[in-house]
Structure 1
């Protein structure tokens, strides 16, 4: 077994090991938030560094992917190591280093053996990728071409077309709609100067959240955090706050599309990470359409009517109101009838709430499956990042199943009646007859 294979296998821990997770949390003098869970069972360390204000929401032009390109290029070489040499170096020291960009944050992750020689070398390479990225012209040109090709391919699919239009409808003037405005021309006009400027202004110590899980102590973690960010500016040059989402306004788009299938999306902006109705909305969504074959929408549209192979409702909580999205495909001839049935199911659920039996089943699935969400170091470090980025409480992982277990039918009914109104839903039908 290779060293990297050992790291991956050793990172998996039984769910029982996470029954009582002790999160140590502090801020450095420069404002970096650090969260640590010590796990000394195996000689590995997982690190995830998130930079608030460096995600796609903060692209200087909504038609571009400056944030995404910046994050991706961080681990495509440094000033002293080209792309190939960077990859060779990470393999030599048995380290996995990766970078990506989400909606609100950009992230760089590291997995390394905790042995001092390995971890020191891995941190040095991680630090170099953050403070001295190569931003190689040839690599950037390749990534840009890949992005253009991928966008052109996705634009030929009805689901992408529908999801993008839905995002435009519910976030017409909000940066949460940026991802739906990307164009080939926008991708092609991004320059390395744009990327360098984005990196200089949005990667700093005061907007960084460092999550650490593994075989290190608090003292070692403090040194690790300092070493990882050494050389970055103390403060960002930009604001990472996100404006509130406007009150939902129902909009409709029906678009022709080749093929026999129509793709339908409907929903509204709804849920925040720190939402007071968070658990009631989540449990209700499971019953409505998030619970797979157990959900009301699936039973109606698939089992009873035979309109679709699958229909799902999805909640995407964010700093501001993230979407509630219901989505499915059906034959074009069934588009209007299926949409009427879907709306009827949603309207009934809002008015009446769940049954006791539905809530019991939802609790069993949500609570029973919750430990599997962080049953490895790699999964747990992502939850630590989530807790840090959105300022969730230290006992979030314990509080979540407890809160769901205590929910009542009336609480879910009350939350959905107050917060969800079918008259506020925007609807997209791609492939409408």
Structure 2
């Protein structure tokens, strides 16, 4: 039976979608302050619904994985949910007890790790008697995970089985080869495999947690029906069980992604009904001032679905692929630019040739005035959908916090999109993309 509080949260989330148009067109003042611990707090008061959403981010993503332990950040986040230590009168809780405790509160709590950050997401009703209990439980997971060795033995076997199953799919093979070719020795290109998992033990997770998770390293984003004083108390409560005397010295810098020096084509045999093709290079970091120009230009090139140039040429006019796309994935470092599609093995080379031609022409000439205006209209028209719930809003606030973007970023987003010119798009693509130095991976293509 669904817990009544969980049902309430779901109903309120649905109501939030109905009130989203008001939220998304209103000014969104983000309050920002630094706590005595060094934690940075970003807060937006939204009192339409009695819900609080919180995201806590640490510089503890995959870019911090040691070279021989790819996947350490990811499995550390996974194992944080598998139990907490006893603390005074509070008993230890295993994964089952934790699940039951969250269900009783009708709240949700999710640790996760990406390429750049390890994050904790909390959603709770703002009713004090529920929120306080949710904060205590979340703080125990954040600060006092048990990392049980027997559970890790089980989970590692599950990971290995999942990897073996994924390796039977051409898309997995293509993605791995592409990432390693584009990123080289940079952590963005690390691949979690059986060997790297075998090198990870629970002591490594504890050391990773101790090294990177401290109040002074936290960025806490909060959206909800509370005031600033309550938001400050929430941030303090969530971080209260992390070591107060943690090492707060600057973390060692991670090298930037090296640009490609020459084109590379990698053909990987694979018995598949469809050839999987990826073409690309390192792109740009999220803080790059060309972000708006590149976002608009990519919409025209291959990010706009059926109205993009790649779809028009590769799918509509030639019938070489059912779907083709392009995209950037900026992070703290230059995430990859990629063109991707699947096609019949015997026509993969023709599809690659045509895709390169479309790309080369776009980089050389840029979009037309009509194409740029259509991209602006579509992206600006869809902007309210990025902010139509507390959960989406807290994600955007966390993005601003993580990438040190201006606090008025959401309020000025539409104006900045409108201000992008044809010359700026063309110039940005000419500087960022080099069609003559890209990686091309073909899995299952016939020569």
TM-score, normalised to structure 1, is: 0.96
Corresponding residue number in structure 1 for 2:58: 51
Distance 2:137 2:24 in 1: 30
Match of 1:200 among 207, 210, 225: 210
Corresponding residue number in structure 1 for 2:88: none
What are the superposed Cα offsets for residues 246-287 of structure 1, whole Å, 9 maximum, x if unpaired?
122332211111023211101111111111211111111110
Matched-pair contact (CA < 8 Å) for 1:201–1:238? no
Deviates more, 1:88-97 or 1:361-370: 88-97
Corresponding residue number in structure 2 for 1:266: 279
Distance 2:103 2:274 in 1: 46
What are the superposed Cα offsets for residues 319-375 of structure 1, whole Å, 9 maximum, x if unpaired?
121111110010111011110000000011011110111111101111111111121
CA gap of 1:5–1:285, structure 2 versus 1, over 3 A, is same
CA gap of 1:301–1:62, structure 2 versus 1, over 3 A, is farther
Corresponding residue number in structure 2 for 1:296: 309
Matched-pair contact (CA < 8 Å) for 2:276–2:341? yes
Match of 2:438 among 417, 420, 425: 425
CA gap of 1:16–1:105, structure 2 versus 1, over 3 A, is same
Distance 1:31 1:390 in 2: 17
Deviates more, 1:366-375 or 1:242-251: 242-251
Question: Size of the alignment, in residue pairs?
Answer: 430
Matched-pair contact (CA < 8 Å) for 2:69–2:199? no
Corresponding residue number in structure 2 for 1:103: 115
Matched-pair contact (CA < 8 Å) for 2:282–2:335? yes
Corresponding residue number in structure 2 for 1:281: 294
Corresponding residue number in structure 2 for 1:76: 82
Cα deviation, residue 66, structure 1: 1.4
* Residues 1:162 and 2:164 aligned together: no
Distance 1:232 1:357 in 2: 54
Distance 2:436 2:152 in 1: 45
Cα deviation, residue 119, structure 1: 0.8
Corresponding residue number in structure 2 for 1:343: 356
Matched-pair contact (CA < 8 Å) for 1:51–1:105? yes
Corresponding residue number in structure 1 for 2:37: 30
Corresponding residue number in structure 2 for 1:8: 10
What are the superposed Cα offsets for residues 160-210 of structure 1, whole Å, 9 maximum, x if unpaired?
1111111111111211112xx222122133111111111111111121111
SS of residue in 2 equivalent to 1:14: helix
Match of 1:67 among 70, 73, 79: 73
Matched-pair contact (CA < 8 Å) for 1:75–1:97? no
Corresponding residue number in structure 2 for 1:127: 139
Deviates more, 1:321-330 or 1:16-25: 16-25
Deviates more, 1:56-65 or 1:327-336: 56-65
Distance 1:236 1:72 in 2: 25
Gaps of 5+ in 1: none
What are the superposed Cα offsets for residues 223-250 of structure 1, whole Å, 9 maximum, x if unpaired?
1111110131344577163322212233
Distance 2:94 2:250 in 1: 30
* Residues 1:148 and 2:160 aligned together: yes
Gaps of 5+ in 2: 86-91
Cα deviation, residue 109, structure 1: 1.1
Corresponding residue number in structure 2 for 1:365: 378
* Residues 1:405 and 2:415 aligned together: no
The RMSD of aligned alpha carbons is 1.5
Corresponding residue number in structure 2 for 1:41: 48
